[in-house]
Structure 1
Amino acid sequence: MTKKIQLKGITWGHSRGLVPMVATAQRYEELHPEVEIVWKKRTLQEFADKSIEQLAAEYDLLVIDHPWTGHAAAKKMVVSYDDYLEKEYLEDQRANSVGQSYTSYNFEGKQWALPIDAATPVAASRPDLLAELGLSLPQTFADVLALARQGRVAFSLIPVDVLMSFYMFCCSLGEAPCAGTDAVVSEATGVKALQLFKSLADLTDARFYAKNPFMVFEDMVNNDEIVYCPFAYGYSNYAREGYGRKLLHFHDLVSLDERGPMISTLGGAGLAVSARSAYVDVAVDYARFVGSPAIQSTLYVENGGQPGHLQAWENKKVNANTADFFQNTLPTLQRAFLRPRYFGHMHFQDHAGDVVVRYLKEGGDEHSVLAALNDMYKESQRIDDVHG
């Protein structure tokens, strides 16, 4: 009996991260009996933190967070799909990108991962509780504050999500962060963003300083206290009948001012192939299978995935099975901010959120907070200069 080609993959430990990969691997194995694909999972924090270099040494297939793209490109630890997939396939991926999901894995003109999963912070509600309590869905940030004063609002306050939310407030005030080299954002925008953020954090229960986005959603479906989350990385699983105790509906973000709905910070996940794999061609072919429009719109999303292909987001059957999660939040994805991906930015992302969390918890001088962020930002660029 011929020994099977075995591929090992690593993803993150949530139904959205693991189950669609296992399902697609199972089907791929049925179509290619000579191949076996074994998926393992890691925590969401490890997903954001652990170096691609470490993972690529151990696994053939990597589900990665896009800020690692610059690191991956510099170290050449994952393969460029341009060297393996035909132009027509990659052009379809680009043309059907949900927001800047495809671009987020493109660095130095090469495509280092396929955008199999798309996400950005969106709003979530408990429609049953809103109706029961006679409450309206918030439309403005002022509405969110009013609802928060009743103890009915929550969102993730762990450091990395706090940093992403700080970016969101800056973008929504009209200034994208990290556009220059000396400062994360201008003093005027930064101070206002911090003050607005703190006005809401002050009205949010302290337990949410320990909850990532899906933990917030778990809190919402398992208890009957929180009726609205103004921004957290969306998880379509909670919009599916039977997944949670109660159903969540997902929405576009509220308006901060006359500029219109807020602009959140793009997330999602990409599928990369380790340059150290002994079976790069097979791994790439599996990635092609997972990212294809047919699989993204059926097998992938039906098994809890949150696809990265636009055809899946616009599919009527997909939306019917997810309380219109995809069509309701697509505008949020389409305008989401693409954060920096240069080599040293992970250093900034790993530590800057702690500075903002400390301010939200303890208060203090906003100018001092911005100065600390700017020092860290410049340090991250020096890392980039050394390794770039």
Structure 2
Amino acid sequence: MKKEKIQLKGITWGHTRGFVPMVATAQRFEELHPEVEIVWKKRTLQEFADKSVTDLAKEYDLMVIDHPWTGHAAAKGMLAPFDDFLPADFLADQRVNSVGQSYASYNFEGKQWALPTDAATPVAASRPDLLQEMGLALPRTFDDLLALAKKGRVGFSLLPIDVLMSFYGFCCSLGEEPCQQDDKVISDAVGTQVLQLLKTLADELDPAFYEKNPFKVFEEMTQRDQIVYCPFAYGYSNYAREGYARKVLHFHDLVLLNNQPLVSTLGGAGLAVSSQGKHIDVAMDYARFVASPEIQETLYTENGGQPGHLRAWKSDKVNAYTADYFKNTLPAFERAYLRPRYDGHLHFQDHAGDVVVNYLKHGGSEKIVLDELNRMYRESLVGEKAHG
């Protein structure tokens, strides 16, 4: 009698970067382990950020997750910690070869809840062909950026979540990390300055960018010839590859503000294993395969992935077919801000961006905006203490 295959179900997000490398690695893993079948499903980027890991872990063995879910996952015990299943030397290699704080972003209360298979942070993108045609240089400073924006040639995501990430990054750029105190997100002085800087820039953008996430911005830049520069958006190396889009984008470190490069807010995605599955050991073996330096540098990246292992980022071969995406943006990763991951912060993250977007659209008092952010932040900390 034919033995029934072990089936693992996985969920990721529906962009080439999120879906295709998981299917490719699953296919190869199945060829090496004929007794295993891995089926990947996809969801939208918004669902990826929104749906609770607790809910997903009941349904899926493997999950590509956003690191702000780490605290929630640790609190609920719905993910299997990698430390309990994988060799210490493998995890040590993952930690040492982390792109920026990607590995640390999935470590909470001393346990590793996901492997950093995908690394991303906001970086700059340009259309070098159009800049050359127009006789324009890449913006070097915030003032250069503002001047280019006034020509109607700049775009970036003004969705609430992306605006909040930009707000965090600008706070860090002005010398204060947000969410370090129990009663306020940021000092009034820095918060006011950040809001004003963001509004100065947002006022020059086409309002259509209030509806576009980062990869929709890159689609706009590659499918049409109006936007020549995006100052900060979670990078997608796919658009730096010949043949992926109508035109190739080049990616860069961020512009200078007060003579220092802007700081961005770390993103990326990690591969997590449900603690509720029947075949945790098999799921762990597959996760180790995907995160291994060899697969990250080859199969994963060749199939549209944006690896989380430093070896792939420094690889001449990988950089050769991505217009040096990885080498050029690595400095931005190395200083990226790791946002809060405590259980209650997700509620704040889901709603705070709306307050900032409302200000960018309609103006008003920066003090009222900051007071509202502080109120929501304090609420999120009360939720955290209740869970703790």
| TM-score, length of structure 2 as denominator length | 0.99
Match of 1:23 in 2: 24
Partners of 2:11 and 2:237 lie apart in 1 by 21
Partners of 1:327 and 1:266 lie apart in 2 by 17
Partners of 1:95 and 1:180 lie apart in 2 by 30
Partners of 1:72 and 1:358 lie apart in 2 by 31
Partners of 2:257 and 2:204 lie apart in 1 by 17
Q: 1:238-266, CA deviations, whole angstroms, 9 ceiling, x for partnerless residues? A: 000000000000000000112x1000000
Match of 2:265 in 1: 265
Partner-residue secondary structure (3-state), 2:284:
helix
Partners of 2:180 and 2:268 lie apart in 1 by 22
Q: CA deviation at 1:387?
A: 1.0
Letter of the 2:329 counterpart: T
Q: 1:119-144, CA deviations, whole angstroms, 9 ceiling, x for partnerless residues? A: 00000000000001111100000000
Match of 2:214 in 1: 213
Q: 1:169-227, CA deviations, whole angstroms, 9 ceiling, x for partnerless residues? A: 10110111001111000000000000000000000000000000000000000000000
Match of 1:161 in 2: 162
The alignment's C-alpha RMSD in Å is 0.4
Match of 2:341 in 1: 341
Asked if residue 179 in structure 1 is aligned to residue 169 in structure 2, the reply is: no
Q: 1:2-52, CA deviations, whole angstroms, 9 ceiling, x for partnerless residues? A: 100000000000000000000000000000000000000000000000000
Match of 1:200 in 2: 201
Q: 1:313-349, CA deviations, whole angstroms, 9 ceiling, x for partnerless residues? A: 0000000010000000000011100000000000000
Asked if residue 85 in structure 1 is aligned to residue 89 in structure 2, the reply is: no
> Where do residues 221-300 of structure 1 align in structure 2 (5 Å cutoff)?
221-258=222-259, 260-300=260-300
> Where do residues 1-388 of structure 1 align in structure 2 (5 Å cutoff)?
1-258=2-259, 260-388=260-388
Letter of the 2:359 counterpart: Y
Partners of 2:387 and 2:53 lie apart in 1 by 15
Partners of 2:312 and 2:352 lie apart in 1 by 35
Letter of the 1:113 counterpart: A
Letter of the 1:136 counterpart: A
Partner-residue secondary structure (3-state), 1:308:
coil
Partner-residue secondary structure (3-state), 2:157:
coil
Partners of 1:181 and 1:315 lie apart in 2 by 42
Partner-residue secondary structure (3-state), 2:80:
coil
Q: CA deviation at 1:383?
A: 0.8
Partners of 2:333 and 2:16 lie apart in 1 by 21
Partners of 1:130 and 1:278 lie apart in 2 by 54
Partners of 2:378 and 2:86 lie apart in 1 by 37
Q: CA deviation at 1:117?
A: 0.3
Is there any run of 5+ residues in structure 1 with no aligned partner, and where? none
Partners of 1:213 and 1:364 lie apart in 2 by 27
Letter of the 1:166 counterpart: F
| TM-score, length of structure 1 as denominator length | 0.99
Partners of 2:387 and 2:65 lie apart in 1 by 20
Q: CA deviation at 1:353?
A: 0.3
Partners of 1:363 and 1:256 lie apart in 2 by 23
Q: How many correspondences in the alignment?
A: 387
Is there any run of 5+ residues in structure 2 with no aligned partner, and where? none
Partner-residue secondary structure (3-state), 1:296:
helix
Question: Runs of 4+ in structure 1 displaced over 2 angstroms?
Answer: none
Q: CA deviation at 1:386?
A: 1.0
Partner-residue secondary structure (3-state), 2:155:
coil
